[in-house]
Structure 1
Amino acid sequence: MDRNLDSAHSGRPRKLDKKKYEKELRRLQAELVAMQQWVIETGERVCIIFEGRDAAGKGSAIARITQYLNPRHAKVVALPAPTEREKTQWYFQRYTAHLPAAGEIVIFDRSWYNRAGVERVMGFCTVEEYHRFLRQAPDFERMLVDDGIRLIKYWFSVSAQEQEERFRSRSNDPMRRWKLSPMDVESISRWDDYSRAKDAMFAATDTPWARWRTVESEDKKRSRINVMNDILHQIPWQRIEPAEVQIPHRPEATEDSSLDRLDRNKYEYVEDVAAALEKD
């Protein structure tokens, strides 16, 4: 395989038809809402891990997955660098606080696997800490699964060429430039180091109880559809019809029920700049 390819397939996949993509995206999002209702009603605990190359499309996939979910029962965890105090804790300790409770879906936008990736490659952990992680991670995940948490792990795979193009696109876009970090830029020159780290991570942590599921992400739209479909198939959910909500009729105002309201002219309103967009 070409050293520049993280993806199992060389070359770029054919672009999806936009209308078909949007229709399927909408259908899958509706199914995810129905799945979440089952999670809430049954008290299931779902933990989904998103890992992969920088700029592989994890963030945009997570955004589409959670777009219509109830935020009270679904959260995205993207932890910053550990504090000095957290550095002295058991490595998994700061992640356990974010694990799902009954009726919750938790998505980790990068997770405890930072230690097997960026920390290993950039030298942010010792060799001893790294090997301890590879030993402990399967046992840690075994405990989660044994306790009833549904754990799904995704690796987003992208080629070196596509990654670099996405980095350059971000650097030229003031709305997305914040996504570029020094670590992202460094990952270009350390491609082979990250490849070796990824292979070692898979060898140690791709277990029968917590398999890695690879998402080909040369085309972001394709990867979104595929990962959303896979989530729906990994969780054995059933459709639960939500209880019908009866909207009452507003009672007619009577002289006795009328309120003394404040003079609206005393309120402070935001400027209606949207009026400039009205049709002639």
Structure 2
Amino acid sequence: MSRLKRKEYEASLEPLQRELVDLARWIAATGKRVVVVMEGRDSAGKGGAITAIRQHLNPRQVRTVALAKPTEREAGQWYFQRYVEHLPTAGEMVLFDRSWYNRAGVEKVMGYATQEQVDAFLKAVPRFEDMLVDDGIILLKYWLCCDQEKQEERFAERHDDPLKGWKLSPIDVKAREQYDAYTKAREAMLAATHTAAAPWTLVNFNDQKVGRLTLIRNLIDRIPDHTVAEEKVELPPLKGKPSNESFGVVQPLEDFAG
């Protein structure tokens, strides 16, 4: 299958992003709370999908949560505690770039959590997510699928590109040898946490552009009718002659000439 060209991708993405603007307006008008969980293998494309969703939305309303390694204090808390404080309030959407499911994936495979901790987590997750849904939160969970061959291509690109090198961590290098172990962990996670109240949706991200379009289309379609009339802001003609910016005593920076 030929890869989707950038112009084709951008032409398909624009109308979806317009619908996302409508969706965000509906969330704000109704006070709904939306949580989108993005999970998947390293380099699957979670960050790019989140960027495509948020590109034209108000960052104060639509937030990304990408938590670092837990501190010593956080490690001693109830496992879900540090995620709960990032849940949306009325009128907000929160996109989790990885989430509480770290325990069933990287923590399990890389040995950061014991099997007892993983088992307790898988038992607790459906109850935790039931509470979120019962309280009115719209919870959408996506797993971004990526073949090992594609993963290796993307790791190599990150390794060779100084602008993307920060995306390749020592943990990623170790984890790349655990592809099958991650598959096994994922299957156990899906079996335990794919529920009627909070089902998983798996999206093929071997072609990231197609994957983004597929995921965004699904996200929009999963939300109930979200049509809200747009309140147009009037912009009357400016009274008087426009003024120029004053630099005062500071030397202005010359325009970049190339």
Assess same fold via TM > 0.5. yes
Q: Does 1:272 align with 2:254?
A: yes
**1:44–1:104 CA contact under 8 A, matched in 2:** yes
**What displacement does 1:19 show?**
2.6
Counterpart in 2 of 1:227?
215
**2:39–2:99 CA contact under 8 A, matched in 1:** yes
Counterpart in 1 of 2:152?
164
**1:35–1:237 CA contact under 8 A, matched in 2:** no
Counterpart in 1 of 2:164?
176
Deviations 1:207-242 (A, max 9, x none): 111111001011011001100101100111322222
Q: How does 1:70-219 map to 2 (within 5 A)?
A: 70-219=58-207
Task: Name the CA shift for 1:138/1:262 in 2 (closer, same or farther; >3 Å).
Answer: closer
Task: Name the CA shift for 1:61/1:252 in 2 (closer, same or farther; >3 Å).
Answer: same
Counterpart in 2 of 1:241?
229
Deviations 1:151-193 (A, max 9, x none): 0000000101110110001100000000001111112111111
CA distance in 1, matches of 2:251, 2:99: 45
**1:119–1:125 CA contact under 8 A, matched in 2:** yes
Counterpart in 2 of 1:7?
none
| Counterpart residue type for residue 268 of structure 1 | Q
User: Could you list the runs of 4 or more consecutive aligned residues of structure 1 that deviate by over 6 angstroms after TM superposition?
Assistant: none
**2:65–2:97 CA contact under 8 A, matched in 1:** yes
How high is the sequence identity, in percent, across the aligned residues? 47
**What displacement does 1:272 show?**
2.3
CA distance in 1, matches of 2:207, 2:30: 35
Secondary structure, aligned partner of 1:75: strand
**What displacement does 1:263 show?**
7.1
| Counterpart residue type for residue 238 of structure 1 | H
Query: Normalized against structure 1, the TM-score is what?
Result: 0.88
| Counterpart residue type for residue 249 of structure 2 | K
**What displacement does 1:133 show?**
0.3
| CA RMSD, 1 decimal | 1.7
CA distance in 1, matches of 2:135, 2:251: 54
CA distance in 2, matches of 1:15, 1:146: 41
**Structure (1 or 2) with the larger CA radius of gyration:** 1
Counterpart in 2 of 1:9?
none
CA distance in 1, matches of 2:109, 2:74: 20
**2:110–2:175 CA contact under 8 A, matched in 1:** no
CA distance in 2, matches of 1:175, 1:263: 36
Unaligned runs of 5+ in 2: none
CA distance in 2, matches of 1:85, 1:222: 41
Task: Name the CA shift for 1:263/1:184 in 2 (closer, same or farther; >3 Å).
Answer: closer
Deviations 1:104-141 (A, max 9, x none): 00000000000000000111112221111000001000
Query: Normalized against structure 2, the TM-score is what?
Result: 0.95
**What displacement does 1:146 show?**
0.4
**What displacement does 1:273 show?**
4.4
CA distance in 2, matches of 1:52, 1:216: 10
Q: 1:43 aligns with which of 12, 16, 31?
A: 31
Task: Name the CA shift for 1:103/1:186 in 2 (closer, same or farther; >3 Å).
Answer: same
**What displacement does 1:21 show?**
1.6
**What displacement does 1:52 show?**
0.4
Task: Name the CA shift for 1:250/1:218 in 2 (closer, same or farther; >3 Å).
Answer: same
